[in-house]
Chains A and B, each alone.
Chain A
Amino acid sequence: MVSQKELVQLELNSNSIKQGNLACAGCQLNAAFKHSLTAIKNNGIAVVPACCTSVIQGAGDGYGMNVPIMNTAFAAAPAVASGIKRRLLKEGNTDTTVLVWAGDGGTADIGLAALSGAAERNEDIIYIMYNNAGYQNTGNQKSGATPRGTKTTTTTTGKKSRGKNIARMMVAQGVPYVASANSAFATDLYDKITRAVEDFKGGFRYIEIFSPCPPGWDVDTRDTHAMGKLATETGYWPLWEAVDGVVTLSKRGARYNDPAKRKPFQEYTKLQGRYAHIDEQLLILAEEDIEFEWKWIRRFMGEL
């Protein structure tokens, strides 16, 4: 377990994301990307399909990161990563992490077939989906992972259906290591990626990171970090790991298995414009989705 102090020092040393990238103020995905690249010690190749990151990466010193990057067609990142890693392995290189870094649209929607294909072949890659709950790069349209009850430009009165949970799908497909993380819990995130790199090398690994988006969610930039914390504290975003299909709750956030210990959902929603003026019945359904996810977690923890 890395301490917060140690992580700060590691990040200063690795300098994974340089100055001058194009992230919006308060962007949490970029913080998550920095933690992730630090965890792979810059010893990796990032495969990035069309997403916010494919815009953010561009400025800086040529580009803003200390690892090679390949941008791919929207639907194809895990396939490209497979091609890279298969060849590296033939050359005897087992150390370089091949990392897919994709948004929720590129994962839950257009990229799902390629993701599932790479998982089925148990490719030696880490797939990280940063979940900012919509196509934020093109101005906030809904994705499959957009949660129920939120407004986007294509769900103007609030999304009616439950968001897709890709991490659960990956567990169902038998992926050996699956984890849920949150940009607001940097040490937990760092530990999970480190574990994926070191303990589960050789196979497919899937990690999903909750990443609040200030413009898309209509959140004050100063609140985006707090938004991430509240997501876990209200039970909305559980933190867990699944090894060979068995779920364990992460130390940070295990207590929210008990609904009585959770903060009210409204504390989380009231800071976000995307939940404003939504039909009350829809918000009730959105809140019920929290327990829906926890029930699955308990079942896969062996509690149910």
Chain B
Amino acid sequence: MSEPRILTGEHLISGNEAVAEGALAAGLQGYFGYPITPSTSIMERVIKRIQKIDDRISFVQMEDEIASITAVAGCSWTRKKAMTATSGPGFSLMQEGIGLAGFTETPLVLVNVMRGGPSTGLPTFPGQQETMQAHFGSHGDYLIPTLVPSSIQECFDFTIEAFNIAEALRTPVFVLSDQIISVLKERLIIPEADEIEIVNRASPSNPKITFKGEEIDVDFVPPHNAFGEHEKSFATGLSHDPSGHVDLSADNYEQLIDRLHNKIMKYQHLMPQPDLFNIDDAEIVLVAFGSTARACRRAMILARKEGLKVGTFKINTLWPFPKEQIEKVEQGRKILVVEMSRGQLIWPVERYVHKHVHHLAYYRGQIPTPSIILDKIRKVLGGDNK
């Protein structure tokens, strides 16, 4: 009856199922969720699995998304790894809780399976329209690491990465999947448990932790004073000092906002780096993430058969944006951004690429097929600047 937490071996499963397996492998102790298409099957997989695992993993179906994200934050303050998953409208409802979690330096993982928006939009069709919301959705200045898987293996791997980043840097982390990845089934290889790096957050009694071999600087990431471990443990959404106590002074507030930003930027290199293919001789580079990155890769292969020199820049960590890498790649090459949105990914690309950026904005609730992308490549290389 009982099953191991980590299902080492080969599987043929969907993206949502892989996310659930990644979370369990990373040490999930609390799942708080609310049904919404197309994310629901993550929750359903978690329930099925935790009933068979000999561990006291909490699962609670909450009354709405505001409750889900804040219950995750509450659970995390007991030093337990916790997560939720949602889609479109649910992500919007969670925004205040996200800001609270970021400001209180609460480690948690939020998986947002993107569908077409706004409002109810296209519940069962894909979109990539939360690119900017993941960065700027809640009020105030903050930065939340955002990982963007494009395969079933990455759904598993990036979910573990997300928990590790959350723990190492004491921050919420987003995994932005999309409807296509959520239901797509392909091969997943789950390694042996001892081959998976698991990071647990620092505590006052154990302040030194390492992530990918690098020690995390306590001046950037203060150890977590979780509830029940120390006399003074204070989580507040008011401006506070590094120990958590209220301090509304101008200097302290500025330092806090800076530190919360800088701790993410300082360890950006430990987050999944972009995958670059065929860049060296490329005349044009396709920039994409998620399911559209898959279509771009296929378009690149087709284009190369025609003799067109195409490379791809597949983003794996969307925020913080891979600024340095894109700056290197753009030199002497045309850039084509491909996204399932009217224009969101193009914003950061235009910011860091100091020339005209070509754009395939495909917002039809469908993925742009390789042939559509190839057609656009031909046009761009043919001198069409539209």
Contact of A112 among B63, B65, B93, B119 (CB under 8 A): B63
Contact pattern, A 175-192, Cβ under 8 Å of B = 1, otherwise 0: 000000000000000000
| Distance from A261 Cβ to chain B, minimum over Cβ atoms (Å) | 36
Interfacial residues of chain B within 34-77, with CB under 8 A of chain A in the complex: 34-37, 40, 43-44, 47-48, 51, 61, 63-65
Which residues of the other chain, A, contact B63 by a CB distance below 8 angstroms? 108-110, 112, 144
| Distance from B210 Cβ to chain A, minimum over Cβ atoms (Å) | 37
Of listed A71, A108, A139, A155, residue having the most chain B CB within 10 A: A139
A141-B64 in contact given A73-B89, A154-B47, A156-B51 (Cβ < 8 Å): no
- Cβ of B120 within 8 Å of any chain A Cβ, yes or no, is yes
Contacts between the two chains (Cβ within 8 Å), count: 47
- Cβ of A74 within 8 Å of any chain B Cβ, yes or no, is yes
A75-B64 in contact given A138-B36, A141-B40 (Cβ < 8 Å): yes
| Distance from A58 Cβ to chain B, minimum over Cβ atoms (Å) | 11
A71-B93 in contact given A109-B63, A139-B40, A156-B47 (Cβ < 8 Å): no
Which residues of the other chain, B, contact A155 by a CB distance below 8 angstroms? 61
From B59, which residue of chain A is reached at the shortest CB distance?
Answer: A154
B44 lies within 8 A of A154 (CB): yes
Contact pattern, B 163-185, Cβ under 8 Å of A = 1, otherwise 0: 00000000000000000000000
Complex Cα spacing A75 to B64, Å: 9
Contact of B37 among A109, A110, A138, A154 (CB under 8 A): A138
| Distance from A161 Cβ to chain B, minimum over Cβ atoms (Å) | 11
From B60, which residue of chain A is reached at the shortest CB distance?
Answer: A154
- Cβ of A153 within 8 Å of any chain B Cβ, yes or no, is yes
| Distance from B303 Cβ to chain A, minimum over Cβ atoms (Å) | 40
A154-B64 in contact given A50-B120, A73-B119 (Cβ < 8 Å): no
From B61, which residue of chain A is reached at the shortest CB distance?
Answer: A154
Complex Cα spacing A141 to B37, Å: 12
From B92, which residue of chain A is reached at the shortest CB distance?
Answer: A73
| Distance from A184 Cβ to chain B, minimum over Cβ atoms (Å) | 27
Q: Which of the four size classes fits the interface of chain B?
A: 10 to 19
- Cβ of A268 within 8 Å of any chain B Cβ, yes or no, is no
Contact pattern, A 71-86, Cβ under 8 Å of B = 1, otherwise 0: 1011100000000000
Contact of A142 among B51, B61, B119, B120 (CB under 8 A): B61
Which residues of the other chain, B, contact A101 by a CB distance below 8 angstroms? none
A153 lies within 8 A of B47 (CB): yes
From B63, which residue of chain A is reached at the shortest CB distance?
Answer: A109
- Cβ of A204 within 8 Å of any chain B Cβ, yes or no, is no
B35 lies within 8 A of A75 (CB): no
- Cβ of A240 within 8 Å of any chain B Cβ, yes or no, is no
| Distance from B56 Cβ to chain A, minimum over Cβ atoms (Å) | 16
Of listed A135, A138, A157, residue having the most chain B CB within 10 A: A138
A153 lies within 8 A of B44 (CB): yes
Complex Cα spacing A156 to B34, Å: 15
Complex Cα spacing A109 to B36, Å: 14
Complex Cα spacing A50 to B87, Å: 14
Complex Cα spacing A73 to B61, Å: 20
B64 lies within 8 A of A138 (CB): no
B119 lies within 8 A of A154 (CB): no
Complex Cα spacing A154 to B61, Å: 7
Which residues of the other chain, A, contact B37 by a CB distance below 8 angstroms? 138
Complex Cα spacing A71 to B40, Å: 22
A110-B64 in contact given A74-B89, A141-B35, A156-B48 (Cβ < 8 Å): yes
| Distance from A249 Cβ to chain B, minimum over Cβ atoms (Å) | 31
From A71, which residue of chain B is reached at the shortest CB distance?
Answer: B120
From B65, which residue of chain A is reached at the shortest CB distance?
Answer: A110
Question: What are 22 A-B pairs at a CB distance below 8 A?
Answer: A50-B89, A71-B120, A73-B89, A74-B64, A74-B89, A75-B64, A109-B34, A109-B63, A109-B64, A110-B64, A110-B65, A112-B63, A138-B35, A138-B37, A141-B40, A141-B43, A141-B61, A142-B61, A153-B44, A154-B47, A156-B51, A157-B51
**Residues on A facing B (Cβ under 8 Å):** 50, 54, 71, 73-75, 105, 108-110, 112, 135, 138-139, 141-142, 144, 153-157
What are the 6 tightest A-B residue pairs by CB atom distance, in nearest-first order? A110-B64, A109-B63, A141-B35, A138-B35, A154-B61, A135-B35
